[in-house]
Structures are given as structure tokens and as C-alpha cells.
Amino acid sequence: MSNSTHPDPAERRPFLRFFYRDWRPTRLGRWANRFARWLSDLGVSSGAVLEVRGRASGKPRSIPVVIATVDDERYLVSMLGPESDWVKNVEAAHGEAVIRERGRHPVHLVGVSPGERAPIISEYVHVATSGREHIPVAVDAPLSEFEAIADRYPVYRIDLS
């Protein structure tokens, strides 16, 4: 199912509509992402930055991300679903990317099948306070509720290159 079939849950909150519309960041949302990247690069925030080559421009694109850890593996979850620009860029780059987190680390992002995503998405909503607003499952929901929506949220395992 496409994201257009499922409205972004964050858009139910008037304040968040300033930052996201139709599963995409608004101009203000893009500015907030730049600010979050800057804070991360300074080491002020606990987040990381994903850098991946743009599929059309070939230029490095960066976006703040939250990394979820499950069974000693690290993962990225697309809170905006498969139509997110960073997901499309990762696919076009065949998973080759850089994680900026206390330094620059070349990584290979490996897609996780929908049947294996639920526990990762569950952990993600625990650690990504901003991501909670986009995923329509309560933080303390049973795993079965995450399984029901797992096909809508791409997940990538982070392998060091």
C-alpha cells in the first residue's frame, strides 16, 4: 500500500502540520532538519546524520536520523515511509552511505524484510520521540500491532563498510 492510502498520523496535530505535509517535510521541516544536523555535527544532540548520494544530483544529501538498536544490531527506520527521499536515495545508491555520529563512518544499509521489521519499529518508537508522531502505534503496544503496519515503514540494518 502506498503512503497516500494512509494519511501521516503526525498531520492530525496542527503544530506538526507546520513541519510535515503529505508524508514530506515542509519548508519549515527542512529548516528544522538542517538545524538538527548542525546540532548533531556539533555533538550537542544524541542523534546521528545519514549522508547518502542524491539519486538525481549525485551530490551528498544529509538528514538527521535516530538509530534503533535491537540484538546488538543498529537500524534506521523511515518514519515517513517508502516515499521518503532518503529511502529512494539509499535504494539508488545500493545501500552505500555514511553515518555521521562522533565521526564519519562509511556504511552499507541492508533492507530488512517486512516480516522482520516489527521489533525494530517497536524499539524505534521508544528511542525516536519525533518518529512516534508518524507511526500509528502506541509506544507500549503489543508486537502484533507493529507487525500490522511494518510493510509501510522501510527499515535498514547498518553494516560498517
Average pLDDT of the segment spanning 41-63: 84
Phi, psi of 153 (to 5 degrees): -130, 100
Domain that holds residue 106: 3-160
Hey, CA dihedral for 146, 148, 153, 155, is it positive or negative?
Answer: positive
For residue 30, the domain's CATH number is 2.30.110.10
Question: 3-state DSSP call for residue 26?
Answer: coil
Rounded to two decimals, the pTM is: 0.77
Q: How many domains does the chain have?
A: 1
What pLDDT digit, counting tens, does each position of 10-37 carry? 555 565 666 666 656 778 777 776 776 6
Phi, psi of 21 (to 5 degrees): -140, 135
Q: Is the pLDDT of residue 2 over 50?
A: no
Q: Is the pLDDT of residue 140 over 70?
A: yes
Query: 110 has which bridge partners?
Result: 157
The residue type of 38 is W
Q: Which residues contact 36 (CB under 8 A, 6 or more apart)?
A: 45, 47, 64
